[in-house]
Structure 1
Amino acid sequence: MVHDGREEVARHDRLIARGAARLELDHYLEALIWKPGALPGATALDQARAAGRFTPIHDAWWQAAVKAHGAREGTRALIDVLLRPLGTSARRRTVGQVVRHQVTGSSTGRVKR
């Protein structure tokens, strides 16, 4: 826990393994918008998936965006959505809505050709 006076301002689980690191994907998004090709192999992405913060909904959106716009622009579109200042559940709803409307152009989930 991190405190500012009596107020708790942050809480992080303790890492037990020596030399272990926990990376937050959100902390890297602004850099990744310029280098979207780095996202697929990013350790922060692997950790976000393992923690359940990058869900199958996100992966489905990403795949649809890549199919519709190509790898670079599809990945940038994903990062743009992830940069939106929303809570986790609101962001998931937004990603789901974007899959249906922005990328696919319909509520059926089919990608435009």
Structure 2
Amino acid sequence: MELSFATAALRSICEKRQKASAALGKVAAIELAARIADLVACETASELIDLFPEDIVALNPRERAIRLRAGLELRFCSGHVKTPTSGAGTDWSRVTRIKIIGLETVDD
């Protein structure tokens, strides 16, 4: 899939291991890099959801998050100009562009 980012700072953390290590710690940075690689390797968002069903959280009909074991959620939505929809929400099987919109600490 193709990725875009909500902010330059978020792009920097997601794309640069050194920035991620400084901001999140080494273990979280390694896990984040692996999940970003998984996103890029998948052809559609539904493929990612099928690969990691326990780690994907439905935040609302248009947003999902990948739970990282480091206690973070990588939030994303469709990155298409016109989001493919089905019923009341995003048709994830037709989403080939993802926009990373946040990286937040999870309160368990």
- Asked which structure has the greater RCO (Cα within 8 Å, sep 6+), the reply is 2
Decide which structure has greater helix share: 1
Q: Normalising to structure 1: TM-score of the pair?
A: 0.32
Decide which structure has greater strand share: 2
Q: Normalising to structure 2: TM-score of the pair?
A: 0.33
